[in-house]
């Protein structure tokens, strides 16, 4: 091998080594950030990190685009009430920028503007009270989607409507680390919530999950807590639209 060819080969090997080292640093930082979020529907370890990477092939990045789909066509697939509005009032625009959401396929969490411990306790109590006021329609239990976190579900004796099939009857669950909430909303309500910057879709919404699977950002004060309660009520009414009247608390 000539000196020129030898030098070129050396440069190529060195370049590949630098690229590999850089990729490993990026991967390690991503893995560390994932583990920092703790356990959820997936374990907060290397196996969980690899699993959520596999989910990326079915994920979307347009989570803050209000409705990247044909509403009429998707409503026909999601069920007869998916185009209806269940929110009690139109939402005002949310103050400030959206909270920071890491780009993992799962879990979906906010790492800024998180709820206080007192606020999260009120949120848990509200889900439990809402289920208690609607025994036979709803139940308060641990999430079937994200592990041991508080959840509002369709009562186990009820037939699940089409839009709750993928969530195994789950209507809403709260994330204890930050106070954000996943809700299964009608397409109309999900679109309005995203338009007013109160939340965003999951990255798997529209693929493995329905388009209405939406994250409501953690409430920061009393006014936002009341809006959160309205969104929970909307999800409950949507879930029970053909089953009975939901009594609000």
Q: What's the pLDDT score for residue 20?
A: 47
Q: What's the pLDDT score for residue 3?
A: 56
Residue 89 has pLDDT above 90, yes or no: yes
Q: What's the pLDDT score for residue 52?
A: 67
Label residues 154-180 b or e (16+ Cβ within 10 Å = b).
bbeebebbebbeebebbbbbbbbbbbb
Check: CB of residue 66 under 8 Å from CB of residue 226: no
Q: What's the pLDDT score for residue 34?
A: 63
Q: How far, in Å, are 80, 112, 120, 141 from residue 149 at the CA level?
A: 30, 20, 12, 8
Residue 51 has phi, psi (to 5 degrees) of -65, -45
Rg (CA), the chain: 21
Residue 33 has phi, psi (to 5 degrees) of -65, -40
Lowest mean pLDDT among 94-98, 100-104, 138-142: 100-104
Q: Tell me the domain boundaries of the chain.
A: 8-57, 71-240
Tokens of 145: 């989607």
Of 116, 102, 99, 127, nearest to 229 by C-alpha is: 127
Tokens of 61: 């990045």
**pLDDT tens digits along 29-78:** 655 556 556 655 566 677 766 766 666 777 899 999 999 998 888 888 88
Check: CB of residue 160 under 8 Å from CB of residue 243: no
Q: How far, in Å, CA of 194 to CA of 177, rounded? A: 22
Q: Which residues pair with 182 in a beta bridge?
A: 173, 215
Q: How far, in Å, CA of 216 to CA of 175, rounded? A: 11
Q: How far, in Å, CA of 178 to CA of 190, rounded? A: 21
The CA angle 155-76-81, to the nearest 5 degrees, is 45
């Amino acid at each position: 091998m000539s000196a020129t060819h030898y030098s070129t080969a050396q440069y190529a090997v060195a370049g590949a080594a630098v690229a590999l080292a850089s990729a490993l640093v990026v991967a390690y930082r991503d893995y560390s950030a994932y583990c920092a979020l703790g356990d959820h529907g997936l374990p907060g370890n290397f196996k969980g990190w690899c699993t959520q990477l596999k989910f990326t092939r079915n994920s979307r990045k347009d989570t803050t685009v209000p409705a990247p789909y044909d509403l009429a066509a998707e409503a026909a697939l999601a069920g007869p009430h998916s185009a209806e509005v269940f929110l009690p009032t139109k939402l005002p625009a949310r103050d400030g920028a959206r909270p920071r959401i890491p780009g993992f396929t799962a879990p979906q969490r906010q790492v800024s503007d998180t709820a206080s411990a007192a606020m999260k306790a009120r949120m848990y109590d509200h889900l439990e009270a809402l289920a208690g006021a609607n025994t036979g329609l709803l139940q308060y239990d641990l999430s079937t989607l994200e592990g041991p976190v508080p959840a509002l579900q369709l009562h186990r004796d009820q037939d699940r409507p089409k839009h709750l099939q993928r969530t195994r009857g789950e209507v809403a669950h709260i994330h204890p680390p930050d106070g954000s909430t996943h809700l299964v909303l009608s397409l109309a309500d999900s679109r309005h919530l995203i338009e007013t910057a109160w939340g965003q879709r999951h990255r798997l919404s529209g693929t493995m999950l329905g388009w209405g699977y939406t994250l409501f950002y953690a409430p920061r004060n009393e006014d936002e807590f009341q809006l959160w309660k309205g969104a929970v009520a909307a999800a409950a009414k949507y879930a029970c639209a053909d089953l009975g009247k939901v009594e609000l608390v």
